Amino acid sequence: MKWLLLLILLTATTVSAENYFTAVVGGTSVHIEDGYDDFDGTFKKFNNSHNLLGIEYRNIDYGVTVLRFENSYFDTSYMLTGSKYYQPIDNVEVIVSTGIVSGYTNRPACIVALNSMCAIVAVGIQLDTPIFKPRLTWYGTAFVLTLTLEF
């Protein structure tokens, strides 16, 4: 019984050392286009401040993220993504993400609609700094800057 408890303890310690959580905050964006035509035909500027808040569970190679934010059309959105991380050079990670997002139904940004959700693909780059890790991600017509904090 003691050996079993020791094995469980060592396994739990190993798993927790490899997997961790990050908080994702911020969400300032720059769009390739100036704005969009709303449903009533009026031209509106994109939202560039997204009040983004989320959490990511990850290890060195993969991550799963859940986010809540105000999207470019000023609608509340929720996003679920799976990501693959590559480290081409020290302190720099390239991220390829795919997933689903709400809040873009009947919008040009929604390429593939799945009921009330849209499929997304995004590519980003993250600097591995000691505390906050700045991340720049390309989502369709927007480049979004966020900060992640490991805990």
pLDDT tens sequence across 105-134: 767 667 788 777 899 999 999 999 888 999
Q: State whether residue 35 is helix, strand or coil.
A: strand
- The chain-wide mean pLDDT, for the chain, equals 86
Q: Report pLDDT for 52.
A: 97
| Helix (DSSP H) and strand (DSSP E) numbers for the chain | 1, 11
Lowest mean pLDDT among 24-28, 60-64, 93-97, 113-117: 113-117
pLDDT tens sequence across 22-49: 999 999 999 999 898 888 889 999 999 9
Whole-prediction pTM value? 0.82
Is the confidence at residue 3, as pLDDT, over 60? no
Bigger pLDDT: 122 or 9? 122
Lowest mean pLDDT among 24-28, 85-89, 102-106, 141-145: 102-106
Q: Report pLDDT for 96.
A: 97
Q: What percent of the chain has pLDDT over 70?
A: 85
Bigger pLDDT: 17 or 90? 90
Give the DSSP H/E element, type plus range, for residue 36: strand 35-37
Q: How far apart are the first and last CA of the chain?
A: 33
How far, CA to CA in Å, does 18 sit from each of 59, 65, 79, 110, 133? 6, 17, 24, 35, 18
